[in-house]
Amino acid sequence: MGWGLVAPALLWTAAFFVLPFAAMVALSFAHMEGREVVRGFDPGNYIRIFTDWTMLKALLNSLEITVVVTVVSVVLAWPLAAIIAFRVPARWQRLALLLAVLPFWTSYVVRSYAWLLVLGQNGVVNKALLSLGLIAEPLEIAATRVATVIGFVHFFVMLLTLTIYANLIQLSPNYARAAADLGAGRWQTFRHVILPLTLPGVVTGAFLTFVLCIGDYITPQILGGNAELTLPQLIMLQLGRSGNFPLASALSVVLMAVVTLAYFASSRWLRLDRV
């Protein structure tokens, strides 16, 4: 009887997740002759990804943007989570948290568009700075990497605030008290007691940030423009303009490999921390 109940979910996952994934990996070893896909075992796509500078550059762009976004988001979200957990009165904390993540619920496509309105040539930021006399010429933020990073950081600060907050409120106040009794100053307590204890929340959130950020197409496409490409943009370009499914598949496998590496890196860190 147990089998009958698991079977539908397992079959669905096998048919629409495992099989497609295997088909994609198989396709990544095919190549194009004209408009035709020629199947076989040809590592040519992978060789091309690591030797063709456009491809390699997209991978590097993605990695750079993702690392910057992850670090900046953690650094901004940690104090926010701590202030909500320790400064805001307990009965207001849930509301404070709900408000801090409210923009989560704007449509994902629209969120990037809204940042375009804020950061654009005639946008709110430029108009404000111009009228304050802080700048003479509008800043070129939209259609650059800076805009992509701002759009990402906005989203992931919300996410990380949640994971770090969840970690912080579980900490017993006795840790800080014990540290104080043992003569630790505020900074030492923070640096050697509180911060290490929040590492699980930080690493969990940072891993999620890394995975979602490196695989995202919309934010760099809307905010970053086409001056430099990220890996997902390159994949979409292969699908759309050139219809090169084998190359797009190989790029996706590389993307998947990067995410898997990030997983192993962060899980190792977590275990080391617990020891």
Enumerate residues 153-192 that contact other proteins by CB under 8 A: 154, 157-158
Integer-rounded Cα radius of gyration of the chain: 23
Nearest to other proteins of 49, 80 (CB atom): 80
18 forms part of the interface with other proteins (CB under 8 A): yes
Nearest to other proteins of 90, 275 (CB atom): 90
Where does this chain touch other proteins (CB under 8 A) — which range of 67-75, 114-122, 168-176, 189-197?
Answer: 114-122
Q: Quick check: 49 and 251 in contact, CB under 8 A?
A: yes
Closest to 65 in 3D by CA, of 246, 230, 196, 238: 230
Where does this chain touch other proteins (CB under 8 A) — which range of 55-63, 108-116, 163-171, 198-206?
Answer: 108-116
Residue 104 carries which DSSP code?
A: G
Of 56, 83, 195, 265, which lies in the binding site for other proteins, with binding defined by CB under 8 A? 83
Of 50, 92, 108, 175, which lies in the binding site for other proteins, with binding defined by CB under 8 A? 108
Nearest to other proteins of 149, 248 (CB atom): 248
230 forms part of the interface with other proteins (CB under 8 A): no
Cβ at position 64, least distance to other proteins in Å: 18
Q: Quick check: 70 and 153 in contact, CB under 8 A?
A: no
Of 50, 56, 67, 79, which lies in the binding site for other proteins, with binding defined by CB under 8 A? 79
- Give how many residues touch other proteins by CB under 8 A: 71
Closest to 158 in 3D by CA, of 228, 95, 80, 90: 80
16 forms part of the interface with other proteins (CB under 8 A): yes
Nearest to other proteins of 67, 124 (CB atom): 124
Where does this chain touch other proteins (CB under 8 A) — which range of 5-13, 59-67, 166-174, 198-206?
Answer: 5-13
Where does this chain touch other proteins (CB under 8 A) — which range of 58-66, 163-171, 256-264, 265-273?
Answer: 256-264
Phi, psi angle pair for 241, to nearest 5°: -70, -50
115 forms part of the interface with other proteins (CB under 8 A): yes
Contacts with 15 (C-beta within 8 Å, 6 or more apart), sequence order: none
Nearest to other proteins of 17, 175 (CB atom): 17
| Pairwise CA distance, residues 228 & 246, whole Å | 22
Q: How many CA atoms lie within 13 A of 139 on its CB side?
A: 19
Nearest to other proteins of 175, 263 (CB atom): 263
Q: Quick check: 81 and 165 in contact, CB under 8 A?
A: yes
Distances (CA, A) of 19 to 10, 14, 15, 26, 83: 12, 6, 5, 10, 47
134 forms part of the interface with other proteins (CB under 8 A): no
Cβ at position 60, least distance to other proteins in Å: 18
Distances (CA, A) of 93 to 67, 96, 147, 156: 30, 5, 31, 20
